[in-house]
Structure 1
Amino acid sequence: MPRTPRPTSRPTVGRTARRLATALLVPVLAACGGGGDSGSGATSSAAQSGGDLGASPPTEGSGEQPDDSRTEAGGNQGGFNAAGQVSANASGTWSLARIDLSSPRKETFTATISQVTDCTGGKESAPASPASREVSVVGGTTPETAEFTLAGPRPPAGSSRTICVTVTVNGASRRGPAAGTVDVPEGSPDGGGTDEPSNGPTDGGTPDGGTPDSGTPDSGTSDSGASEQPVPLPESASPR
């Protein structure tokens, strides 16, 4: 009788197929693992670059100061960061404006105050005089107040004026309205009216010169006395 072939060939083929699949799967997994490493490296590098950008955080108002990079060398000693933290306060009576600076930083630095204007209602006047003043910020405040004479016509009496200033620290500038106001006093031109009442009493003095009026009665008495004397003289002469 002819021999029947053994059914062992199929399991052998199955094992061979599984081995081939495993051999093909290993490079795929390795490639995926390599891709994951490269992706994580890209992510870490991006995070590092973001950290570098965040190392110098944007200060308040930096959007309005396009050339703030020129003062990066200033660091904590001033520069754009210090200018962004400085606050200005205005006080005084028209036309004298007093400007004080304050800062949360306790380091000592120098600031320049310039372009002081009356910017009430969004309309700026001509710059005050002097054009600028340099002050020292010590312990967060200015020991000396910077004084400016505001320009332009006198505003309405009783009004409060908003003052805009430019603060410069180590070449970096920031402009904006100062806290506080400059007040316009009421009735200061009426001082001339006080002179008018003083002139009034002098006018009343002329009625006091009624002494000449009393003189007129005195002269009248002399006139009446003269008329009385001639009258009896002719009468006494007539009987004689």
Structure 2
Amino acid sequence: MSLLTVDRLCAGYGALRVLHDVSFSIEEGNVTVVLGANGAGKSTLLRALSGMIPATGSIELDGYELLSGRRRRPIALLGIGHVPEGRGTFGGLTVEENLRAGGYHRPRGEVERSITEWFELFPRLAERRDRLAAGLSGGEQQMLAIARALMARPRLLLLDEPSLGLAPKMTGTLFDNLRAIRERMDMTVLLVEQNAHLSLQIADDALLMTAGQVGPRRPAIALREDEQIRRAYLGA
């Protein structure tokens, strides 16, 4: 069953259109990775889905039209979490304060349980719970950004280049965490990621994006075995 259905989505910045009639669907509970060259429109796609930029067309989350003028609730409260490129943590707040900000609309008891849960999954954050986010390493900030988004218990998590700028060891740790999150939560993930090798290992399926358009959804395992894809994205 499709959780997210996108139809003829167009978006951009002012007069510059980046997305051109993009249509695809994401199955509930799946991890879908978006692959494409720099400038293909991958980050713009996530920004359009999360309402960060104006868009036309149709975006349905479990049958609810997000682009309708009748929409009353913020997209975050409808079940979409977005971790943008560059992380976007609140540098002047502590690690724990960042997490509380992510769960601001949830009952207090649930917030406390979630903080405990994510500190168990991210022990480095637990060790730094009273440290300002601005003083964390890049990898720790990325962990915090993901944990903060998860505080809202999203049904759909949008991740934009989570490994960007991270050392290989930290990237491996990050993807181990993403695997653990997937096992722990009934959540759908749309992942934009430069490390195609790692992302295809945790993904169920993939979308190839070229010049603001998206091709048909394909099984991740098929792309891992596709010689053309291996040469273009996996360095093999």
Per the normalisation by structure 1, the TM-score is: 0.21
User: Which protein has the bigger helix share?
Assistant: 1
Per the normalisation by structure 2, the TM-score is: 0.21
Higher RCO (Cα < 8 Å, 6 or more apart)? 2
Q: Pick the structure with greater CA Rg.
A: 1
